[in-house]
Amino acid sequence: MARQVQLIQRLPPVSVIVATLVLTTMLVLVIFAPMIAPMDPRDVSSYSLMDAEIPPAFMDGGDPRFLLGTDNQGRDLVSVILFGLRISVLIGIGAVLFAAVMGVLLGLIAGFFGGRVDSIVMRIADVLVSFPTILVALLISGIAKAQLDADTVLTWAPAILVFAIAINEWVQYARTVRASSMVEVSRDYVRAAKVIGLPSRRIMIRHILPNVISAVMVIATINLAGAILTEATLSFLGAGMPPTYPSLGTLIRIGNEFLFSGLWWIAVMPATVLVILVLAVNVIGDYLRDRFNPKLMAR
């Protein structure tokens, strides 16, 4: 009986299970969006202006062909949202991976070597963290658009946005990994590795990194929601993805122009998907943070 009670206590809450199912479903939609979407919103020949501004199928005047209605260009909202979800998730994952790799690398170096190297890395981190993420992203996006021609910006828009979001997010990874590395460096197994002459790179990657990776995973999960929201905010402000890339933020910005003219579904539908996505990621991130918290695990 006691074993059954312990097993039940270890099971994740219902909210986490539901969030995991929702997030898994969205990831499947992201991967197979080109095959699932009724039309390709990037192909102008696949939609018509004659089908513009059709309400969802469950409303009066709706068309069974368009489950969630169409936008002002006649594009099927289901298709546009699927491709927009794909772009938003991929940019969010790309920004998190870029920030995590950069932050973990700098954090390991700062924590392992200490001294002047640690001071330089942490002072750079202090300068970056003093600026809001959205402000830094707006600055980098503006500089890229000013220095590059329109075709280059259009081609490299996703990469520019990933860099703009990630450049200010690596600080949290670096600080966490640095603190953990400083603790690990003082342990006997690291001292023994130094004594037998193992190179510093091998000690950091093979011995210290596995002991700090769990904290990095938790931070990455929580920051994924923030990266997706930052992308949506930048696209909504017109400084993110261009209109030819139907990200969720771009769709909400376009729909906002028609929100008070009765065409509410153009903005509400992608906004609802964005809210559900961010909520699911946050629920999972909070669970992982509590799960890997030593103080809570001891209870």
Residue 88 in any domain: the answer is yes
**What are the structure tokens assigned to 254, written together?**
């376009």
Residue 59 maps to a domain: no
CATH of the domain at 81: 1.10.3720.10
pTM of the model: 0.85
The answer as to whether 5 is a domain residue is no
Give 246's Cβ-side CA count (13 Å radius).
Answer: 25
Torsion over CA: 149, 153, 154, 155 (sign): positive
For residue 183, tell me if it sits in a domain: yes
User: Does some domain include residue 299?
Assistant: no
The answer to whether the CB of 128 falls within 8 A of the CB of 168 is: yes
What is the domain range of residue 242? Answer: 12-31+66-291
- Which pairs from 204-213 meet CB under 8 Å and 24+ separation? 204/108, 204/109, 204/112, 205/108, 208/108, 208/111, 208/112, 208/180, 208/181, 208/184, 209/104, 209/108, 211/180, 211/184, 212/104, 212/107, 212/176, 212/177, 212/180, 212/181, 212/184
The tally of domains found in the chain comes to 1
Determine, yes or no, domain membership for 80: yes
Is 58 a member of any domain?
no
Residue 38 lies in a domain: no
pLDDT in tens, the chain (299 residues): 444 444 444 567 888 888 889 989 988 988 888 888 888 887 777 777 788 888 888 888 888 888 888 888 888 888 889 988 888 899 999 999 999 999 999 988 888 888 888 889 888 888 888 888 888 888 888 888 778 777 777 778 888 888 888 888 888 898 888 888 888 887 877 788 777 877 878 888 887 888 888 888 888 888 888 888 888 888 888 777 777 777 888 888 888 888 778 888 888 889 999 999 999 998 888 888 877 765 544 44
